[in-house]
């Protein structure tokens, strides 16, 4: 389970955990109808937080920030933590959905395009026949008005969904969860590309690439126009800054 004083990587809190413990924690919160937020930390998230103190505070306010990316796992191991594997968002999504179906906990989905959302719901219902999906929404790409946002919160709470999967992408989904904690009476999981993967809209990297920290390269080849800047900007900086931090030089000047 989560340590009392979790480690940080470049200022971002990471909770060393496992699929089993994370799933149990999420289901426990859901059964008690608690408003919680769960982040899945990868290099992109850590670097966005490094560059934006406000976003860093939002991520660090999450109830659970699991190590999603293999580089995050490697750094945790170098820091002396017994982390056996990553908690990969698409896999955690399936684990939580399976547990929700078994325990009859209603779930909802917020994010992605309407086509992707529809395909996602069809696929997860086929995979988990007992799953109760009580809410789904494909929000507009623009910022919602305050009235629209209030209506969304009312709809989510009225649906009875106790686990809400949020697929808005980083950093938008973490900001959304932070802004809605205490208002949405559900456990909110920011799972990013899991919506596209489980809808069949985008292929997943083969397991050998994921296990070796090369998923970024596969995704860059699949979506070069969208992802090239993120990976070429963040990845080298993460390596350099993490090495400096491991050498005891501390969190470097954001500038």
Alpha carbons 79 and 77: distance in angstroms, whole number? 5
Residue 124 covered by a domain = yes
**DSSP notation for 185-249:** -SEEEE-TTHHHHHHTSSPPPPHHHHHTT-HHHHHHHHSHHHHHHHHHHHHHHHHHHHHHHHTT-
1 domain-assigned: no
Is 170 within a domain?
Answer: yes
Domain containing residue 55: 12-199
Per-10-residue mean pLDDT for the chain, 255 residues long?
76 96 98 97 96 97 96 93 90 98 98 96 96 96 92 98 96 97 98 94 83 79 76 88 88 49
Task: Say how far apart CA 178 and CA 180 lie, in whole Å.
Answer: 5
C-alpha–C-alpha distance, residues 255 and 253, integer Å:
5
| DSSP state for residue 68 in the 8-state scheme | -
The pair of structure tokens assigned to 199 is 């809808």
The domain total for the chain is 1
Asked if residue 42 is part of any domain, the answer here is yes
The predicted structure's pLDDT at residue 165: 98
pLDDT of amino acid 251: 57
Return the pLDDT at 218: 77
In a domain, 158, yes or no: yes
- Is residue 237 in some structural domain? no
Residue 25: inside a domain, yes or no?
yes
State residue 4's pLDDT score: 62
CA distances from 75 to 50, 93, 129, 195 (A): 16, 24, 39, 27
Q: Is residue 134 part of a domain?
A: yes
Which residues are CB-contacts of 236 (< 8 A; sequence separation ≥ 6)?
none
What is the predicted pLDDT for the residue at 255?
41
Q: Which whole-number Å values give the CA distances from 198 to 203, 234, 238, in the listed order?
A: 9, 26, 29
CATH number for the domain including 28? 3.40.50
Cβ atoms of residues 194 and 8 within 8 Å = no
Residue 98: count other Cβ atoms within 10 Å of its Cβ. Answer: 16
Residue for token pair 């959302």: 117
CA–CA separation, 14 and 21 (whole Å): 14
- pTM tops 0.85, yes or no: yes
């Amino acid at each position: 389970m989560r340590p009392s004083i979790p480690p940080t990587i470049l200022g971002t809190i990471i909770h060393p955990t496992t699929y089993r413990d994370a799933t149990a924690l999420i289901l426990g919160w859901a059964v008690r109808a608690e408003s919680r937020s769960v982040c899945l930390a990868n290099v992109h998230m850590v670097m966005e937080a490094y560059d934006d103190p406000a976003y860093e505070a939002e991520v660090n306010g999450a109830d659970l920030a699991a190590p999603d990316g293999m580089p995050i796992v490697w750094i945790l191991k170098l820091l002396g933590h017994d982390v056996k594997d990553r908690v990969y968002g698409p896999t955690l999504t399936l684990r939580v959905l399976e547990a929700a179906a078994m325990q009859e906990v209603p779930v909802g989905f917020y994010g992605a395009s309407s086509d992707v959302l529809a395909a996602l719901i069809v696929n997860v219902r086929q995979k988990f026949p007992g799953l109760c999906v009580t809410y789904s929404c494909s929000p507009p790409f623009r910022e919602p008005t305050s009235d629209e946002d209030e209506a969304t919160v009312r709809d989510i709470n009225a649906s009875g969904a106790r686990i809400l999967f949020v697929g808005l992408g980083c950093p938008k989904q973490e900001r959304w969860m932070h802004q809605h904690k205490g208002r949405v009476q559900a456990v909110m999981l920011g799972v990013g590309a899991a919506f596209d993967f489980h809808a069949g809209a985008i292929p997943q990297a083969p397991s050998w690439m994921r296990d070796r920290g090369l998923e970024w390269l596969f995704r860059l080849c699949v979506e070069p126009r969208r992802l090239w800047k993120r990976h070429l900007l963040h990845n080298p900086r993460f390596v350099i800054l993490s090495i400096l931090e491991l050498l005891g030089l501390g969190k470097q000047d954001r500038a």
